[in-house]
C-alpha cells in the first residue's frame, strides 16, 4: 500500500492545502533505508505568519462554538483514527521507524486523547462564591487562552499531536502546529482527519518546516500567539522559554527525562525484568520516559542483568514494516552515532558489555539492543538521554543510596520502582523527584493521567483532568451584592 502517497504534502492554513512560499519542500526519509519517502511543503517564516493570522481570525468564532460541538468533532476524529489504524500505523513506521505493532499501539494511544478530551470539552466549569466578608459575590469563568503554538517531536508523531490538539479543541483554542521535520506526514494525515471530522478552517493550521528556529521565534514575538505547548529536548525548551518571556506567552513544556529504574531485593524479578524491558525498549528507547539508568540491588543484580541480556539478545532488529521485528531503526544517523559514542564512553569508564554494543554497517540507522553492567556514575550516559536501545545497569546496596543516585540529575520526568514491600513502594514513590512513578510497571503513559515532569523536565501536565487547564484562563468577575 502506497500509504505515504495518499497523505497531503502541503501546508494546511485556513482550512486549505497550500504550497510553501516559492514552492519549497523538505525531504522525509525512511530511517530503515535512508531513502526519501516523500517531499513535503517547507514553511517559511511568512507562511507561518499566515498560519498565525488564520488562527487569530478563527479564534472568536471557535471560542463561541458550543462545547458539545467541539467535543463531537473530537469524538468523530477519534472514530476515524481507530478505523484507519492500519494505514496510520504504517505511515508512522515508514517515517519514524518503530515496528508496526508498536505503531498500532501509538495509534490507539493517540486516538484516546481525542476520546478523553471530547468528554472533557463539556466539563469546563467555573465557580460562584461569597467573599469572606459577605460583601461580594465572586464569579469565576474559564475561557480559552487564545491561539496556541504547538511544537511536536518525531518520536511519537501522532500521539504528541493529539495530546496537544485534543485539549486545545476542547477548550476552544485555535492552533498553529509545527511538527518535527523528520515526521510531518503523520501530522498532515491527522489534520486531514480533523477536517473530515468537521473542524472549521483556521482552527488547526499545520506548518512543517526545516527552519524551526527561524519560523518559531517571530511567531512568539508577534503577539498573536498566547500559548506555547512544546514537547522536545530540554535544550530547545530553555531557548523557547526565554523567547516566551519577551511577550509573556504562557507555556507548557514536556522536556527531556533521565528515568531511573530501581529494582530492590524484595522485587518480583519476573515483573522487574518485564517492566524494565518495556520501559527500555518501547520505541527503541527513543522516549523521554525511557529507562536511562537502571539501579539494581547487589543481591539480585547478577541474575537481573543476565535475564535482561538474554531478553535483549533475543530481540529481532530490522525494518519496522517486517513481521516479527521488535526493534526498528533509530531516527537518523546522528541519533545512532550518539548512542554509539555513549556506549563507548561507558565502556571507557569501566562498563562491561553483556550483549550488543557494536555499531552495524548501513544501510539504515540500526543499533543493536545492548546491555551494560557496572556503569560508573561518571559515564556520560548517566547524565545524558541515551535515546536508544541501551540498558545501563549499576548496583546499589541501600535504599538511601539508590534514591540519592536516582535523584542525582537535573531531570525529573519519571522513575520506575520494583518492590513487593508496600511501605517501601510508598516511601520511594514519595521521595523520587519526578512528576510520575511507575510502580511495578514499565509503562505510565495514559490519556486519563497527568503526564509531566518536575525540575528541568518541564512545566505543566498533559492529559488527565488537569490537561485542559493550560488552555484555559480564569476570569474573575466581582459582583457587589
Residues that bind ligand ADP (CB under 6 A): 151-154, 178, 180-181, 212-213, 216, 232-233, 236, 239-240
DSSP state string for 221-288? HSS---EEEEES-HHHHHHHHHHHHHHT-EEEEE----EEEEE-TTS-HHHHHHHHHHHHHGGGG-ST
Q: Which is nearer to ligand ADP, 181 or 222 (CB)?
A: 181
Q: Parallel, antiparallel, or unpaired: how do β-strands 291-297 and 259-263 relate?
A: parallel
C-alpha cell at 446: 495514559
Smallest gap, in angstroms, from Cβ of residue 191 to ligand ADP?
Answer: 15
Q: Which is nearer to ligand ADP, 230 or 418 (CB)?
A: 230
Block residue for cell numbers 494525515: 189
Q: What is the DSSP letter of 317?
A: B
> Shortest Cβ contact with ligand ADP: which residue?
232
Would you put residue 405 in left (φ > 0), alpha (ψ -120 to 50) or beta? alpha
| Beta partners for residue 458, in sequence order | 254
CA angle 389, 394, 400 (to 5 degrees): 130
- Helix and strand numbers (H, E) in the chain are 14, 22
Smallest gap, in angstroms, from Cβ of residue 330 to ligand ADP?
Answer: 11
Q: For the chain, percent helix, then strand, then coil, each to nearest 5?
A: 40, 20, 35
Q: What is the DSSP letter of 434?
A: S
Smallest gap, in angstroms, from Cβ of residue 251 to ligand ADP?
Answer: 12
Q: Which is nearer to ligand ADP, 256 or 368 (CB)?
A: 256
Smallest gap, in angstroms, from Cβ of residue 92 to ligand ADP?
Answer: 16
Alpha-carbon distance of 180 to 457, in angstroms, equals 19
Smallest gap, in angstroms, from Cβ of residue 340 to ligand ADP?
Answer: 17
Catalytic residues: 254, 288
Q: Which is nearer to ligand ADP, 29 or 473 (CB)?
A: 29
Q: Which is nearer to ligand ADP, 164 or 311 (CB)?
A: 164
Q: Which is nearer to ligand ADP, 19 or 217 (CB)?
A: 217
Smallest gap, in angstroms, from Cβ of residue 69 to ligand ADP?
Answer: 30
Alpha-carbon distance of 189 to 86, in angstroms, equals 13
Amino acid at each position: 500500500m502506497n500509504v505515504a502517497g495518499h497523505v497531503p504534502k502541503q501546508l494546511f492554513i485556513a482550512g486549505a492545502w497550500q504550497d510553501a512560499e516559492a514552492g519549497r519542500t523538505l525531504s522525509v526519509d525512511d530511517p530503515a533505508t535512508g531513502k526519501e519517502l516523500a517531499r513535503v511543503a517547507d514553511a517559511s517564516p511568512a507562511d507561518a505568519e499566515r498560519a498565525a493570522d488564520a488562527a487569530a481570525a478563527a479564534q472568536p468564532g471557535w471560542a463561541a462554538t458550543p462545547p458539545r460541538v467541539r467535543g463531537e468533532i473530537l469524538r468523530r476524529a477519534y472514530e476515524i483514527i481507530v478505523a484507519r489504524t492500519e494505514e496510520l500505523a504504517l505511515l508512522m513506521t515508514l517515517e519514524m521507524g518503530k515496528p508496526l505493532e508498536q505503531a498500532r499501539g501509538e495509534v490507539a494511544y493517540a486516538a484516546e486523547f481525542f476520546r478523553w478530551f471530547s468528554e472533557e470539552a463539556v466539563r469546563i466549569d467555573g465557580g460562584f462564591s461569597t467573599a469572606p466578608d459577605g460583601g461580594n459575590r465572586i464569579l469565576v469563568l474559564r475561557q480559552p487562552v487564545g491561539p496556541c503554538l504547538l511544537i511536536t517531536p518525531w518520536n511519537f508523531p501522532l500521539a504528541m499531536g493529539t495530546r496537544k490538539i485534543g485539549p486545545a479543541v476542547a477548550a476552544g483554542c485555535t492552533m498553529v502546529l509545527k511538527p518535527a521535520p523528520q515526521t510531518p506526514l503523520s501530522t498532515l494525515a491527522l489534520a486531514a482527519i480533523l477536517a473530515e471530522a468537521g473542524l472549521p478552517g483556521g482552527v488547526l493550521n499545520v506548518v512543517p518546516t526545516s527552519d524551526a528556529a527561524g519560523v518559531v521565534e517571530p511567531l512568539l514575538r508577534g503577539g498573536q500567539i498566547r500559548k506555547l505547548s512544546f514537547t522536545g529536548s530540554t535544550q530547545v525548551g530553555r531557548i523557547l522559554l526565554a523567547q516566551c518571556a519577551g511577550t509573556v506567552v504562557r507555556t507548557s513544556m514536556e522536556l527531556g527525562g533521565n528515568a531511573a529504574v530501581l529494582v530492590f531485593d524484595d522485587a518480583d524479578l519476573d515483573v522487574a525484568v518485564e517492566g524494565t524491558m518495556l520501559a527500555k525498549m518501547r520505541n527503541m528507547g527513543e522516549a523521554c520516559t525511557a529507562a536511562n539508568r537502571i539501579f539494581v540491588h547487589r543481591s539480585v543484580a547478577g541474575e537481573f542483568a543476565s535475564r535482561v541480556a538474554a531478553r535483549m539478545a533475543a530481540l529481532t532488529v530490522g525494518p519496522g514494516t517486517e513481521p516479527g521485528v521488535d526493534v526498528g531503526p533509530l531516527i537518523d544517523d546522528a541519533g545512532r552515532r550518539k548512542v554509539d559514542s555513549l556506549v563507548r564512553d561507558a565502556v571507557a569508564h569501566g562498563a562491561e558489555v553483556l550483549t550488543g554494543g557494536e555499531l552495524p554497517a548501513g544501510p539504515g540507522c540500526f543499533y543493536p539492543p545492548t546491555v551494560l553492567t557496572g556503569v560508573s556514575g561518571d559515564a556520560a550516559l548517566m547524565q545524558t538521554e541515551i535515546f536508544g536501545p541501551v540498558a545501563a545497569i549499576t548496583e546499589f546496596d541501600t535504599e538511601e543510596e539508590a534514591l540519592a543516585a536516582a535523584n542525582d540529575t537535573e531531570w525529573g520526568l519519571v522513575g520506575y520502582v520494583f518492590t513487593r514491600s508496600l511501605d517501601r513502594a510508598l516511601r520511594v514513590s514519595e521521595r523520587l523527584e519526578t512528576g510520575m512513578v511507575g510502580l511495578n510497571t514499565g509503562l505510565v503513559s495514559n490519556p486519563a493521567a497527568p503526564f509531566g515532569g518536575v525540575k528541568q523536565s518541564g512545566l505543566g501536565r498533559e492529559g488527565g483532568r488537569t490537561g485542559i487547564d493550560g488552555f484555559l484562563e480564569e476570569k474573575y468577575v466581582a459582583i457587589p451584592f
